[in-house]
Amino acid sequence: MMRTRPLKVALLGCGVVGSEVARIMTTHADDLTARIGAPVELAGVAVRRPSKVREGIDPDLITTDATALVKRGDIDVIVEVIGGIEPARTLITTAFEHGASVVSANKALIAQDGAALHEAAVEHGRDLYYEAAVAGAIPLIRPLRESMAGDKVNRVLGIVNGTTNFILDAMDTTGAGYQEALDEATALGYAEADPTADVEGFDAAAKAAILAGIAFHTRVRLDDVYREGMTEVTAADFASAKRMGCTIKLLAICERAADGESVTARVHPAMIPLSHPLASVREAYNAVFVEAEAAGQLMFYGPGAGGSPTASAVLGDLVAVCRNKLAETTGPGDSAYTQLPVGSMGEVVTRYHISLDVADKPGVLAQVATVFAEHGVSIDTVRQTGKDGEASLVVVTHRAPDAALTGTVDALRRLDTVRGVASIMRVEGE
């Protein structure tokens, strides 16, 4: 039987995503009612600038007092799309205390304080859903948390930031330099005026922490994620990648150690073979490759940001939370039963592509090879070119612990015959 009394929803934030959530709630009201089993009603919208015209939203719903809104007591679900740590964290916990479940798109907050927020949700018998916090419209968190609950995930490898993928794709396809590609991304609206969170990997690192925690059923915080940005990637790196049959992507990589006793999470640029499915992900799209014992290899692909795609994920969570509310139950919460330790980057086994500027004289290659041998790193391929006393030496290694590889690079820098390390990049996806 259809319930006639509406479920009341309050929005915290009404920017690009929040306004799309409000619009879809209005234009798809009948469909949402049929899918949920009760109508949903937008009961309040907290904003910072109340004077701004918000088309399709009753001005009487607008307030600047977010705290009062979450304390009302008659609100069934709070949708938090303001971002940041505070006041979002306090508003969410206050909402739980006053009877509301929460749908959030706040990757930074979930990555930093997800465990505490889940504990607060359980304490008050509420839901905390955040599909929109990772990869926009791509259904990813719910499949990992629910559809694959009976499987064992060993690795999650993905492109989870559209801005960086657009920039790297432009560098790859047009030969543009980093700054030129960034300027294009900014002009087209893919990059913020301050792109630091994207290009330095902070955004992707937050998403990696969330994905690792869900995939491996353990606590992974933002501080546990190794992070490198992509601002040092050059056109020369892409030229080297092409010679290897590779391209370059900024990857979020979460994996279980070979012995199963620990996990790691990292974000950095990497060369991947053109044969890998992630190599063909173009422009501002996201894609995540999941490797599990029973399911094998799965790939999730789609738009990873933007108002409408992110709002789609928010509305999916809203429907699920509202259904739980009607059933007087809650959905799956935090699962950290494995309590696996998070290993350091030095423990990760990976490959390196190293480009060295060296003196063009006999014995240089032998000196370089000796350094690799002394650090227990096996060389896969070497390419040397040079003239007029200067040369370029490109070395690709076999897989080795990252600590051994970084130690090798440090030792190479101390050789008199090595003029400089032009670039260092990990090789993944093989």
CA atoms within 13 Å, Cβ hemisphere of 199: 21
191 token code pair: 């990059």
Measure the CA–CA gap between 424 and 430, rounded to whole angstroms: 18
Backbone Cα Rg of the chain: 24
> Cβ distance 18 to 45 under 8 Å?
yes
Alpha helix (H) ranges present in 246-348? 307-327
Q: Which candidate in 8, 52, 107, 207 is catalytic?
A: 207
Please, which residues have CB within 8 angstroms of residue 168's CB and are 6 or more apart in sequence? 181, 230, 233, 247, 248, 249, 250, 269
Measure the CA–CA gap between 383 and 381, rounded to whole angstroms: 7
Q: Is 152 among the residues known to form the active site?
A: no
226-to-110, 223, 324, 401 alpha-carbon distances in Å: 17, 8, 36, 15
> Cβ distance 39 to 33 under 8 Å?
yes
Measure the CA–CA gap between 323 and 2, rounded to whole angstroms: 12
Please report which helix (H) or strand (E) contains residue 46, including its range: strand 40-46
Looking at the DSSP assignment, which residues form a beta bridge with residue 79?
A: 11, 103
Q: Which of 234, 313, 248 is nearest to 279 (CA)?
A: 248
Active site members: 207
